[in-house]
Amino acid sequence: MRKKMNRRTFLKYSAAASATAAISGFPTILRSQGEIGVTSDSIKIGVISDLTGPTAIAGIGMADAIRGYFNDLNEKGGIHGRKVVVIVEDSKYSPTLTVAAAKKLISKDEVFALVSPWGTEPTEALLPLVAEQKIPIAPACSLATSIYEPMKKYVFAVGTDYVDQSLFIVEYIMKDLKAQKPKIALFCQDDDWGRDHLKGLNLAAKKYNLDPVVMESYKYDAVEFKSQVINLMKVKPDFVILAAGLRSGVLFLKEAQKLKWNPTFIGTNTLGFLKTLEMAGDAGEGLLVLNIFAMPDEDIPGVKRMIEVTKKNFGDKWMPANEKIHPYYIYGWINAIVFAEGAKRAGKNLTREGLINALETLRNFDPEGLMGPITYTSASHGSPGYVRMTKSDVANKRFIPLTGWKSVSR
């Protein structure tokens, strides 16, 4: 027969149980005096990025930019006296790992909001969790229309989406280059990113009475793209839009050069890395690239400030700025600006609902000149697109703006 528990043991166990309950209930006690992730002197935010996966070079930049921005902001006093605490998790660009990271940030770290989670597919995977937990993604780091169309209460998007980018490219071809009945082809990835570009191109093609766009796509982990190059070459297009990553885009250009095929190549924003020019060599000559953010070599106060803060926080890691700082670094920085503005406008009594309402008051908000003005309303959490076309300058390692900022309407 089991020995009966004596009173001392019983008291010992009860004490342990009560202590555990008290400790686990402690945050609730703290929290019940304010919003989750917000204390009297701090705001906790979660940043999920690709730090070791296939797009790590871009993801590391995005995370560093956000960290640098808030370090600087905290030195200046933070937001209404609260310092912003940035917690970064690695997602390796995987939707599954992104959701796992978000769950950890939500339940263990109890963050106030998710800022700039990396990638289209991963962010799409977060949407159900975010709606259930009522935690803002403020803002997202994805340019796919699925992120904000139809509108999601807790999700904001920054940056010109892929459909608008494609519309602009065709506008540029027709209006600026004054092309006569051009034939357009598209090389893109086989996912929503690629499909958005095809959609935009075909919308514009219809508007201008052009032939439907011929598309060749590729799987993310493909070894080579030779047959895609040959297929598009067969069609004899005047313009080939490269909605591709660094590797796929550059390999496409090199293979085309090998086959002595010389249409006009136009890259979307994902090819706006200086590295594209380095790796493509003279296959990148004449490449036009769409640009949606300011470039690090531009003489704009916002850019200069960003570079100064970067140098202060990371030393030489991102120097020389005009070579190392890339569009996704700037994207992260802009996302940080937008979050900070929303939190500021929400006031001292910071809540998640308050943040949402505050962001919806942004009208033509200028993110320190780093991109076109941002407007949100209670009916739209996606900002109208601003784009410009640039041309690659291989010799001087930069992209030269060919147009001013143009706004695109659908």
Partner 1 sequence: MENESLRILFQLILSGFIVGSLYALIALGFVLIYKATDIINFALGELMMFGAYICYGLITEFKVPFLPAFLLTLVFSAILGILIEMLVLRPMVGEPIFSVIMITIGLATLFRSIVGLIWGHDVYHFPTPFSETPIDLFGLSIFPIELTTSVTVLGLVILFFLFFRYSHMGIAMRATAFNQKYALLMGINVRKVFSIAWLLSTVVASIGGIFLAGMFFIHTNMSFIGLKVFPAVVLGGIDSIAGAMLGGLIIGIVENLAGGYLSQLFGSGIKELSAFFILVIVLMIKPYGLFGKKEVIRV
Judged by the rule CB under 8 A, the positions of this chain that interact with partner 1 are 52-54, 56-57, 190, 214, 216-219, 221-224, 226-228, 230-231, 234, 246-247, 250-251, 254, 257-260, 275, 278-279, 281
Residue 65, sorted as left (phi over 0), alpha (psi -120 to 50) or beta, turns out to be alpha
Q: How far is the CB of 190 from partner 1 (least distance, A)?
A: 5
Q: Across the strands, what pairs with 90?
A: 49
Element (H, E) at 333: helix 327-346
CA–CA distance, 162 with 335 (Å, rounded to integer): 18
CA–CA distance, 204 with 163 (Å, rounded to integer): 10
CA 315 vs CA 265, 318, 325: distances in Å: 36, 7, 13
Taking the alpha carbons of 336, 341, 343, 344 in that order, is the dihedral positive or negative? positive
Q: How far is the CB of 197 from partner 1 (least distance, A)?
A: 14
58 vs 309 by CB, closer to partner 1: 58
119 vs 302 by CB, closer to partner 1: 119
Q: How far is the CB of 361 from partner 1 (least distance, A)?
A: 40
72 vs 190 by CB, closer to partner 1: 190
- Cβ neighbours of residue 86 closer than 8 Å, sequence gap 6 or more: 45, 47, 66, 67, 70, 115
234 vs 410 by CB, closer to partner 1: 234
User: What's 173's DSSP letter?
Assistant: I
HEC profile for 355-408? HHHHHCCCCCECCCCCCCCECCCCCCCECCEEEEEEEEECCCCEEEECCCCEEE
111 vs 280 by CB, closer to partner 1: 280
CA–CA distance, 56 with 71 (Å, rounded to integer): 22
Which contacts qualify for 171-180: CB closer than 8 Å, 24 or more apart? 171/204, 171/406, 171/408, 172/266, 172/389, 172/403, 173/239, 173/266, 174/208, 176/389, 176/402, 176/403, 179/238, 179/239
Q: How far is the CB of 300 from partner 1 (least distance, A)?
A: 28
Q: How far is the CB of 285 from partner 1 (least distance, A)?
A: 13
Q: Residue 401 has which token pair?
A: 């703006």
231 vs 403 by CB, closer to partner 1: 231
194 vs 372 by CB, closer to partner 1: 194
43 vs 141 by CB, closer to partner 1: 141
153 vs 219 by CB, closer to partner 1: 219
Q: How far is the CB of 140 from partner 1 (least distance, A)?
A: 23
Q: How far is the CB of 245 from partner 1 (least distance, A)?
A: 9
Q: Are strands 385-393 and 406-408 parallel, antiparallel or unpaired?
A: antiparallel
Residue that is written with structure tokens 């006569």 in the block? 180
Q: Residue 241 has which token pair?
A: 């839009």
Q: How far is the CB of 166 from partner 1 (least distance, A)?
A: 18
**What is the distance between the terminal CA atoms of the chain, rounded to a whole angstrom?**
79
224 vs 308 by CB, closer to partner 1: 224
Q: How far is the CB of 49 from partner 1 (least distance, A)?
A: 13
Q: How far is the CB of 195 from partner 1 (least distance, A)?
A: 11
Please spell the DSSP secondary structure of 205-218, one letter per residue: HHHTTPPPPEEEEE
